[in-house]
Amino acid sequence: MVDTSKVKLRIENIVASVDLFAQLDLEKVIEICPNSKYNPEEFPGIICRFDDPKVALLIFSSGKLVVTGAKSVEDIERAVGKLVQMLKGIGVSFKRAPLIDIQNMVFSGDIGREFNLDTVALSLPNCEYEPEQFPGVIYRVKEPRAVILLFSSGKIVCSGAKSEHDAWEAVRKLLRELEKYGLLDEEEEEL
């Protein structure tokens, strides 16, 4: 079993799609949304920013939303609840409770040791490394579907996960692969 006790992961961003199950008159909605922008010639929705929780919402007349910038699922739920209360205030009625679907979570982390990325790229399957184009190894996990960027410092970015559990599972798979090819050994060749 791979030891993940030294690995730290932190949520950097969560993106969710939301269905409010209501049609929206964006001309009325823009009047109640602080820190918002609506220019239908440029973009078909309202771009709204909340300070608490700190998120951005894209609001469409279909009642569909995209919420981004959240640091937790609770932030998304709070932002949607706040918007629903504001919309009720202008007479919007909802057919049912909002449906929130997490589309992507981005985590940053640290494996806690340095890596020779040339060695990693030559050893691991499902990875790409083009140092002239990008300074990290791009490691693709099929299940759960995620992409992990591994840098020589041992820092990682995990993207594409739909839950914290999936992100940890993807990181465990990377660590198992690194261990399998002897890349976690303390005596790894000098960088």
Cα–Cα distance for residue pair 136/129, rounded to 1 Å: 7
21-97: CATH topology is TATA-Binding Protein (3.30.310)
- Cα–Cα distance between 82 and 31 in angstroms, integer? 15
Average pLDDT value for the chain = 94
Pick the CATH number of 105-181 from 3.30.2270.10, 3.30.310.10, 3.20.20.80, 3.90.660.10: 3.30.310.10
Residue span(s) of the chain under CATH 3.30.310.10 come to 21-97, 105-181
Using the structure block, give the residue that is written with the tokens 């079993």. 1
Which residue type, as a one-letter code, is found at position 148?
Answer: I
Question: pTM value?
Answer: 0.89
- Enumerate the H helices of the chain as residue ranges: 26-32, 73-88, 117-123, 164-180
pLDDT tens profile 76-116: 999 999 999 999 999 999 999 999 999 999 999 999 999 99
Residue 128 CB contacts under 8 Å (≥ 6 apart), including other chains: 121, 137, 138
Report yes or no: 56 and 49 within 8 Å, Cβ to Cβ. Answer: yes
Residues of the chain with confidence (pLDDT) below 70: 1-2, 186-191
